[in-house]
Amino acid sequence: MELQKVSLKDYSSLRVGGEGELVRVTTVEELREAITHARSHGKRVHVLGGGTNSYFGEDLSAFLFIKLALLGKTLGDNGELELGASEVWDDVVMWAVEQGLWGIENLSYIPGTVGAAPVQNIGAYGVELKDVFVSLSALDISTLELVSFDREACRFGYRDSVFKYKDGMYIITEVKLALSKSPRPVLLYKPLDTLTEAHDLTPQTVRDLVISTRQAKLPDWYDHPNAGSFFKNPIVDEETSEYLATQYEAMPLIEVEEGYKIPAGWLIEHVAHMKGVRTGDLGTWPAQALVIVNYGEATADDVDAFAEDIRSVVREKTGILLEQEVNRVG
């Protein structure tokens, strides 16, 4: 097992982080060895995925960072897809679409790895991972045994799963999805609703529209370091939604199972009036207020302070407390 000293900036799409100790693993057995090493040296384990939903503090001496390379992709006759946790999510979507399989085309162009997808229960344009999820395998850090989670055990919610509440207890190693060879498009959200009358609709057509839409709104993190949507879209009850509608007539209120979802980007833009603003090295993206961009050498504390400025204005004007979606480590 080879330990390396690395800059965690290089493992954060927001390009924020100090130096830490890292080990790369390619098998479950190597993963067990790395965890045992961390335990014997009093270190906390943190697994690195694609780095597109995390930023890091300056003092990371308490951590051993593990970079997984657990790859593999197997498609069964019934459309069940078995995936190694380190596969790049959008590469999997592209491959599935090329096979003519339906189910995850709406989730195109979402950054990160397969292993991170269940943790966040990634979702877009009316589809969530849970809609195609079958099961996953994970290593129990306390016992070093592999365990299986079905959909019910994962306790999926909006951008939520059991793994957010058991952080540091499990490391996902494999994910199984059930895709469909028969068309089952989900075209509820704009601009996908423009495809409802399309003839010979394919998952590739849907994917192309999702990608072009996301590219028009979101900055490429290679050019403009960011971690995508920084806050969750809040969900309020009916009474709150009715009150807010009287205060902000144009506020989008999307009815969901738990109540009414409000786009966080709309709140930041139209309530806080903080779209495209910049403080020091940080700013909200001019085309999408929900994205925070690192224009220079921002630190984790800078990110926290900038995010709190946004939260405090929205809370003061609406009573809504925006919940951060991007993870700070250290």
How many other CB atoms are found less than 10 A from the CB of residue 45? 18
Query: Using CA atoms, how far apart are residues 71 and 88, in angstroms rounded to an integer?
Result: 9
From the list 12, 54, 229, 241, the catalytic residue is: 229
Residues 6 or more apart in contact with residue 91 via CB below 8 angstroms: none
From the list 30, 269, 323, 325, the catalytic residue is: 325
| Dihedral, CA of residue 205, residue 177, residue 327 and residue 110, to nearest 10 | -10
User: What are the start-end ranges of the H helices in 125-237?
Assistant: 151-154, 203-217
The distance between the two most distant Cα atoms of the chain, rounded to a whole number of Å, is 61
Amino acid at 308: E
In 281-326, beta strands by DSSP E: 282-285, 288-294
Q: Quote the tokens at residue 20.
A: 């830490």
Residue 314 sits at φ, ψ, to 5 deg, of -65, -40
From the list 24, 159, 214, 328, the catalytic residue is: 159
- 229 in catalytic set: yes
DSSP characters over 63-129: EEEEEE----EEE-TTSEEEEETTSBHHHHHHHHHHTT-BSSGGGTT--SBTTHHHHHT-EETTEEG
Query: Using CA atoms, how far apart are residues 17 and 7, in angstroms rounded to an integer?
Result: 7
Catalytic sites, residue numbers: 159, 229, 325
